[in-house]
Amino acid sequence: MNPHCSTGPTPCMYAPGAGWSGRWCYWKATPKFRKLGYPVSSVRLPGEKDDGRDAERAREARRLIREMLAFYGADVPEMEAGTWGWLIHRYRNDRHSPIHGVKANTRKNYDWCLDRWDAAIGHTRIQQTTYETICDLREGMLNKGRSVAYVHRMFNRLRAVTSYGVLIEDPVATKVSVVLSKMRFQAPPKRSVAPTREQVRSIIDEADARGMFAFATGILIQRTFALRAVGVCGQWLPCDPAAGGIVRELRRNRRQRNAPAGWERWQDGLTWDVIEDDLRGLHEGYLEDGEVHAGADQVRSVRRT
């Protein structure tokens, strides 16, 4: 029997760290925390196989996970299986979840939406979410002055959560996923305005006057070659300590002193090796390997005159 599921027709039980050994079910701390010296490595969960106590074992496994994370300073709230908070938590933490396939900056944007859904409906049982409920949620956002772009972004994330529920074969989440797939959420209109050349020049002149020469140069490059800001300035993203490039260790505060060490690497931005020797263009390799999307055709052809 899968340690994450109960027998019979009842819904799947989330029992992180649980596994069977013969008749008995054991919870085990993750290898990462065992290496850090977590004092509890294994706990035998109550009952035995096929005794109908899967829900009890799942609750105990979740409690042990919370204790382990709290030992290292993490704050993990208790949640009830079958609620939106429970499904969102699984979507974020299941190692098989598709959310782990996105880059760190994209994950940050996803988490922004998920935090808001968790706060709004995390305590609500998924089976109580109907077509009318979803329409009320959308109407409530618009009545509070939320933009069309905000509503579209939020419901895209909720669709992703319910799609994950389909993958783990949760029947209630699957039902809501079907409802969401039949609904249409207005997409935001394409941007119709952009800063003029004179406006950009005024920003660059002001930055120069204040001695902010790096900022001014970055704005000039971004405007000239139609690049995104991150394509010029770059960003720090989590990485493996053995990764190449510009890598630094994350600083930890007093509360995080027992947490695992972390590293991040600067990437996606411009370095001198991608700028042509005469400073009038960018090498083709940057376009093939970098993160430029918008304006890529212009970057290939534009050279400063």
pLDDT at 256: 63
Mean predicted confidence (pLDDT) in 51-58: 88
Tell me the CA distances in angstroms from 97 to 53, 178, 201, 254, one per residue in order: 26, 19, 46, 31
Question: For the chain, how many residues are written?
Answer: 305
Which of 202-206, 249-253, 258-262 is the most confident on average? 202-206
pLDDT at 114: 94
Distance CA 81, CA 62 (A): 10
The overall average pLDDT reported for the chain is 82
pLDDT at 1: 38
Residue 135 sits at φ, ψ, to 5 deg, of -60, -40
Mean predicted confidence (pLDDT) in 235-264: 77
pLDDT at 201: 93
pLDDT at 192: 79
Distance CA 34, CA 248 (A): 25
Distance CA 4, CA 58 (A): 7
Q: Are 225 and 282 in contact (CB under 8 A)?
A: yes
Q: Are 174 and 166 in contact (CB under 8 A)?
A: yes
pLDDT at 73: 63
Q: What percent of the chain has pLDDT over 70?
A: 83
Mean predicted confidence (pLDDT) in 129-157: 95
**String of DSSP letters for the chain:** --TTS-STTSPPP--TTEEEETTEEEEE--HHHHHTT-S--EEEPSS-TTSS-HHHHHHHHHHHHHHHHHHTT-------TTBHHHHHHHHHH-TT-GGGGS-HHHHHHHHHHHHHHHHHHTTSBGGG--HHHHHHHHHHHHHTT--HHHHHHHHHHHHHHHHHHHHTT-HHHHHHHHHHHH---PPPPPP-----HHHHHHHHHHHHHTT-HHHHHHHHHHHHHT--HHHHH-EEEEE-TT-SSEEEEPP--GGGTTSPP-EEEEESS--GGGB-TTSS-B-HHHHHHS---TTHHHHHH----
pLDDT at 78: 63
Q: Is the pLDDT of residue 221 over 50?
A: yes
The pLDDT tens digits of the residues spanning 167-207 come to 999 999 999 999 999 999 988 888 778 888 899 999 999 99
Candidates 116, 153, 121; CA nearest to 136 is 121
Q: Is the pLDDT of residue 129 over 80?
A: yes
pLDDT at 75: 59
Q: Distance between alpha carbon 196 and the CA centroid of its chain, in Å?
A: 34
Tell me the CA distances in angstroms from 263 to 239, 242, 243, 244, 266, one per residue in order: 6, 9, 9, 12, 10
When mean pLDDT is compared across 11-25, 56-70, 104-118, 183-197, the lowest value belongs to 11-25
pLDDT at 105: 78
Q: What percent of the chain has pLDDT over 90?
A: 37
pLDDT at 288: 42
